[in-house]
Amino acid sequence: MWTNTNTTEELVTGILRHGPDILEHCTHSENIDNYVKQVEKEFLDYPTPKKEINPNNWFMPNSYKEMDIKKYVLDLCKTQQEIDRVNIELAEYEQRNLLMLLKQMKYIVDILRKHSIVWGVGRGSSVASYVLHLLGVHKIDSIKYDIPLNEFFKGENNG
């Protein structure tokens, strides 16, 4: 049972180890706020995470963890132009060690669809990623609207 006596580090470790259901056991919203701040500090430091999260700690079924996300996304392509763009993007994701994140996004989108939950059409620089479009994260076709990929990775001194 998580109480207000748990440290932020214990709370973060517990959530990363056991999943979001731990949040149900928090007795004070302050613990949740501290958790969010800690996760932002530890893992969400833009442009890339400070720490690599162990693949075993991602909260998704093993079928998603083990899937070949590159093959999955490439199989969704219909034209050579799409294949070329996806190959460039996948290389960028791989260079930044973000392929597990793509698997997580696929899982989240599948869960949203399964439960008929509506989400936004797209927001911010994420719409520059054609891979995210193919995964269903957003509805903006960056090839159709000629949105350069460097808009997605613009915080990384590449354009």
pLDDT digits (tens, 9 = 90+) for 28-74: 455 556 666 665 565 544 444 555 666 667 788 889 999 999 999 99
Whether 151 and 125 have beta carbons less than 8 Å apart is answered as: yes
Give SS3 for 27: coil
pLDDT digits (tens, 9 = 90+) for 78-133: 999 999 999 999 999 998 888 999 999 999 999 999 999 888 888 888 899 999 99
CB neighbours of 89 closer than 8 A, spacing ≥ 6? Answer: 129, 130, 131, 149
Name the CA dihedral angle for 136, 142, 147, 150, rounded to a multiple of 10 degrees: 50
- Size of the chain in residues: 159
CB atoms within 10 A of CB 69: 21
